Structure 1
Amino acid sequence: MSASPSPADLYRRSLRLLLEKDIAGWVGLWAEDGVMEFPFAPDGWPERLEGKEAIAAYMRHYPDHIDLRDFPTVRIHTTTDPEVIVVEMRGTGRLVRTGEPFDMTYVAVVTVVRGRITSYRDYWNPLAVATRPGADFTRSLR
């Protein structure tokens, strides 16, 4: 039996899958009971997604709205808990509908247990995109 990937290695793989627009593959990295949280979610947006199915439904149309092209900055910090990492990163690309640039900075706190993501707290600012012209995709991500 092979060892599970480290949280940092699994996270790097998740970024490659997002760049490949392989949402099914990305969701496949999650535990069945995984939880995704958005601490800065504005009114009307989900604050917490419970379970792999809810996460899959939320992410299903992501590539139809944001064409991620690169993560030019990724800093993965280990913690005193070997299952938890803190990630600082920047994602760039284009808004599909308008072609406008997409440039977002994120901080994520991610827990990986037995090679699966069990918790992901995503500290991104959805309002930075929602206020852009042509950003009507935000309705479909709610």
Structure 2
Amino acid sequence: MSTNTAPVDLYRHGLRLLLNKDISAWVDLWDENGILEFPFAPEGWPKRLDGKAAVAEYMRGYPDHIDLHDFPSVEIHQTVTPETIVVEMRGVGRLVDTDGPFDMSYIAVVTVENGLITRYRDYWNPLAVQDPATHFAGSNS
């Protein structure tokens, strides 16, 4: 992606990378000092990750925990700040450990500068995951 890639285009490209389980390429969309926040994270789960390296470590085991199949609903809203978008989306797939369904709705506020993600606030619903060990983000495995 180029340094003038629009946030909408960068985000949609990132979703394709997640579906392709290309986590390293997804992490490459991040600025070295990017911040990933989870405002609704339950106790014991990360609330904030500082820097691309922390994001990479957090996402490393993603495909081992969630087999993501599709984003059947993605609505991207442009804000008055051109670098920031608000995304409403739903991801579906299966939980690898239990073979149970994965169905999560998200709202994300994403800021892109110079073609890279500098801030990503992920407002996922922790109530949708009954067993915290099945959510890749919070597992201690």
Q: Please give the range of the TM-score, normalised by the shorter of the 2 chains.
A: over 0.9
Other-structure match for 1:135: 134
Structure 1 residues 133 and 117, CA, compared in 2 at 3 Å: closer, same or farther?
closer
Structure 2 SS opposite 1:90: strand
**Number of equivalences:** 139
Cα distance in structure 1, aligned partners of 2:99 and 2:125: 20
Other-structure match for 2:22: 22
Structure 1 residues 128 and 4, CA, compared in 2 at 3 Å: closer, same or farther?
same
Other-structure match for 1:111: 111
Task: Name the amino acid aligned to 1:84.
Answer: T
Q: After superposition, where does 1:62-77 map in structure 2 within 5 Å?
A: 62-77=62-77
Q: Percent identity?
A: 65
Return 5+ residue gaps in structure 2 as ranges. Answer: none
TM-score for the superposition, normalised by structure 2? 0.92
Cα distance in structure 2, aligned partners of 1:25 and 1:98: 27
Is residue 39–residue 121 contact of structure 2 (8 Å, CA) maintained in 1? Answer: yes
TM-score for the superposition, normalised by structure 1? 0.92
Cα distance in structure 2, aligned partners of 1:134 and 1:46: 13
Structure 1 residues 136 and 41, CA, compared in 2 at 3 Å: closer, same or farther?
closer
Return 5+ residue gaps in structure 1 as ranges. Answer: none
Q: Compute the displacement of 1:105 (Å).
A: 0.3
